[in-house]
């Protein structure tokens, strides 16, 4: 007879199994990262079960004195990290940040322009996600497939024709900076608020290695705290506006607009990550971009079809590879084979694909491998491992042994306060 204790033990066993997969393998999903030892301690603290509705020193509950200090420090450091006059650090995810921003900036029925999911836009930018939840009238930008960005002239013309309440930029497949100056100027002509979803590239922005949207016409930037920004799962809302009324609208859209409990343990983890980023973030961002470009070049040299070769493959943490005909499911098959070899990736739609569950491509990120000390040499070794599985047809289980050996030399997390030389993989 299976008892509830057995079930609980099964959960812990599966948790350990997941940790071992990443501890022995290569985590290369572009939306993931690992947390530092200090962040892990904050996330596992007593704050896990606590509430602190409101803003620092203006709470609805007692017992929030310690958390007031935490959030106040986080707001102070967040403004420094992002060179912005406003930041809200309460949001529980990047998508919740988007929902809150859309709530603050538009009413149901208002028009919005954004990048389509087929061209790399995030699901929260679509009718199936936050845009639909707010019942906004969505219009998507014409796309330049060669440059992997909105077609500047056609997108600007669309903005002028539609006259949206919000002109939204940023995406989930994110290789290169968005031509914001030109498009934000068109948005300003028609009175639109310019919003930028920087979830994937937030750490690169903060580290000065991508673009600075708030200096290029963006009014509100949202983002995740757990991708290239290496904190716990959560979100940020950041603004270039000094207007206190506008800032209060953004804060109110998070609490009480979209969050009651905003997961105080994760907020504390974010604040620790902000402190670590002030110390190490610039070098981390530089190394991520260097590694991504090197990985793109190495994959191309192995014979893979890597998108955007004419532009140097990438300017972010991601590269895109195509593994078969459009809508063929080749990306899904490649991802399964790689997982058997201990390389964790995700299938992804590429330009031309229309079937989300049968795409032709992979989206690959190097931010986690960079964080455990891998550099250009390791990027070349990893490309060879991909080739052995996907081009040369070697048994993935035999390749897995070499994956494990490579990863065994890269277990200690970097770019953080790590006095005890602790592993980044606790399970």
420 pLDDT above the threshold of 70: no
pLDDT at 147: 92
pLDDT-derived band at 427, boundaries 50, 70, 90: low
pLDDT at 118: 87
pLDDT digits (tens, 9 = 90+) for 313-336: 999 999 999 999 999 999 999 999
pLDDT-derived band at 424, boundaries 50, 70, 90: low
pLDDT digits (tens, 9 = 90+) for 175-219: 999 999 999 999 999 999 999 999 999 999 999 999 999 999 999
pLDDT at 422: 64
pLDDT-derived band at 419, boundaries 50, 70, 90: low
User: Regarding beta strands 343-344 and 26-27, do their DSSP bridges make them parallel or antiparallel, or are they unpaired?
Assistant: parallel
Lowest mean pLDDT, pick from 90-99, 118-127, 188-197, 256-265: 118-127
pLDDT-derived band at 418, boundaries 50, 70, 90: confident
Distance CA 43, CA 79 (A): 22
Distance CA 277, CA 415 (A): 8
Question: Average pLDDT, whole number, for the chain?
Answer: 96
DSSP 416: S
Cα(first)–Cα(last) distance of the chain, in Å? Answer: 28
110 pLDDT above the threshold of 90: yes
* Domains of the chain and CATH, by start: 39-276 (3.40.640.10)
Average pLDDT over residues 360-384: 98
E strand map for 94-162: 111-114, 137-140, 143-144, 149-150
pLDDT digits (tens, 9 = 90+) for 261-299: 999 999 999 999 999 999 999 999 999 999 999 999 999
The SS3 of residue 345 is coil
Considering the chain, what percentage of its residues have pLDDT values greater than 90?
94
pLDDT at 425: 65
pLDDT at 187: 98
């Amino acid at each position: 007879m299976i008892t509830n204790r057995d079930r609980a033990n099964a959960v812990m066993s599966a948790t350990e199994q997941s940790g071992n997969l990443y501890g022995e393998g290569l985590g290369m999903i572009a939306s993931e990262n690992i947390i530092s030892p200090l962040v892990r301690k904050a996330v596992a603290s007593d704050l896990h079960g606590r509430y602190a509705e409101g803003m620092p020193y203006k709470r609805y509950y007692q017992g929030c004195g310690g958390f007031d200090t935490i959030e106040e420090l986080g707001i102070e450091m967040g403004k420094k990290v992002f060179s912005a006059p406003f930041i809200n650090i309460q949001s529980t995810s990047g998508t919740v940040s988007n929902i809150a921003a859309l709530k603050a900036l538009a009413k149901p029925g208002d028009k919005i322009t954004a990048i389509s999911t087929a061209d790399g836009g995030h699901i929260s930018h679509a009718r199936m996600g936050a845009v639909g939840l707010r019942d906004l009238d969505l219009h998507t930008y014409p796309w330049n497939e060669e440059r992997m960005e909105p077609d500047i002239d056609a997108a600007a013309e669309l903005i002028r024709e539609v006259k949206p309440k919000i002109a939204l930029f940023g995406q989930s497949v994110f290789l290169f900076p968005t031509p914001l100056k030109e498009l934000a100027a068109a948005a300003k002509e028609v009175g639109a608020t310019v919003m930028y979803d920087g979830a994937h590239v937030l750490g690169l922005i903060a580290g000065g290695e991508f673009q600075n949207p708030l200096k290029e016409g963006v009014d509100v930037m949202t983002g995740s705290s757990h991708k290239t920004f290496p904190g716990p799962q959560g979100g940020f809302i950041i603004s270039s506006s000094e207007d206190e009324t506008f800032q209060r609208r953004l804060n109110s859209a998070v609490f009480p607009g979209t969050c009651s409990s905003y997961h105080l343990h994760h907020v504390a983890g974010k604040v620790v990550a902000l402190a670590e980023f002030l110390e190490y973030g610039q070098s981390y961002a530089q190394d991520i971009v260097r590694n991504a470009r090197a990985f793109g070049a190495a994959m191309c040299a192995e014979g893979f079809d890597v998108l955007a070769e004419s532009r140097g493959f990438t300017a972010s943490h991601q590269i895109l590879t195509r593994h078969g005909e459009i809508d063929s499911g080749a990306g899904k098959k490649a991802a399964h084979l790689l997982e058997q070899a201990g390389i964790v990736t995700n299938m992804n739609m590429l330009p031309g694909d229309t079937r989300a569950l049968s795409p032709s491509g992979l989206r690959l990120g190097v931010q986690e491998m960079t964080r455990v000390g891998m550099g250009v040499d390791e990027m070349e070794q990893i490309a060879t491992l991909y080739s052995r599985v996907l081009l040369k047809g070697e048994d993935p289980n035999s390749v897995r042994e070499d994956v494990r050996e490579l990863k065994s030399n890269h277990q200690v997390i970097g770019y953080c306060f790590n006095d005890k030389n602790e592993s980044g993989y606790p399970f």
